[in-house]
Amino acid sequence: MTNDKLAITLRLISGLLFAGMVVCIKFSTDNAPTGQIVFFRSFFALIPLAAYLALRKELPSGLYTKKPVAHLMRCLSGCVAMFGGFAALSYLPIAEAMIISYLSPVLVVVLAGIFLGENVNATRWLGIGMGLTGMLVLVVPQVTGTGRDETFMIGVSLGLASAAMSAIAVTQIRNLTRTENAGAIAFYFALTCAVAGLLTSPFGWKTPDFSEAMILIGAGMFGGFAHIAMTLSFKYAEASKLAPFDYLSLVWAVGTGFVFFSTLPSQSFYYSLPFLLGGAALVAFKDGFRRHLPR
């Protein structure tokens, strides 16, 4: 059933919810180690995801899988991406961390061409080139001359690693969605990340106070409901129609960074913006690609 207005509304809601999740994570990076944040984000996201599956009468039947190994590989690559993305937020402003994530859909095109046999034509290669150029425009001013910022470069390195692993995860998701329930893919991912986060507890978790615990729980709840809204949006409209609304996430990133953390993007961010967005847009509009981030 097609309903463009409902789909767009759900996509906008998911973007705002994801922005709320990122704000909670950014607040938490000063008070909790990355593994602890990953655990709270993933464990409490299971609650709305399980409720969603139950309402659709897909619990537990919807969790059945014929490809447990493929799920495990997707979950592990996505989990590494989540750890890297959350760690990057401890070094970077929200806007810079977000713009780096836009390299992920560009990398997916390359991986999909190699491993899934998808066609990579001239338009897509142009998008890849623009995306890579945008990264150079963002990074080069930070590694040359007197403006070198080592903290920024650590964050960029973590963000790039996260984008690469996210691209690998998306490539695996594309393969899984041919036979697997989308709810199962999301559920197993959240479960795996929760377990991985919990395993880091011996390395120094901090006991949160009430407000810190609420922020950590909020990250999970925001992320879980955001994923549901995003999934439903693609039920009512084609991915290519909703792709432009992905770019509103940058508006939320700049706005929340300023409102909650009194930060504005660097000058190189604005210079890199046309290249990164242009490259991602060429990929999105050419093949209806839906961007998947480690949430």
Alpha-carbon Rg for the chain in angstroms:
18
Angle 68-89/34-43 helices, nearest 10 degrees?
130
Quote the longest CA-to-CA distance of the chain: 60
Residue 146 has what pLDDT? 55
pLDDT of residue 285: 61
Compute CA distances 52 → 6, 59, 261, whole Å. Answer: 18, 9, 33
In angstroms, the CA 280 to CA 225 distance is 25
Of 29, 93, 97, the closest CA to residue 258 belongs to 93
Q: Which residues of the chain have pLDDT under 70?
A: 1, 143-148, 238-240, 243-244, 284-295
Q: pTM of the full predicted structure?
A: 0.87
Residues 60 and 43: their CA atoms lie apart, in Å, by 18
> What does the DSSP 8-state code read for residue 179?
T
Q: Are 36 and 82 in contact (CB under 8 A)?
A: no
Distance separating the N- and C-terminal Cα atoms of the chain: 28
pLDDT per residue as tens digits for the range 103-121: 887 787 788 777 777 777 8
Token duo for residue 196: 């991985």
What pLDDT does 60 receive? Answer: 87
* Cα-Cα-Cα-Cα dihedral sign, residues 162, 163, 164, 165: positive
Q: Return the domain boundaries, the chain.
A: 4-287
154 contacts 91 by C-beta, under 8 angstroms? yes
What local confidence, expressed as pLDDT, does residue 290 receive?
Answer: 42
Each residue's pLDDT tens digit, 228-269: 888 788 778 766 577 667 778 888 999 999 999 999 888 888
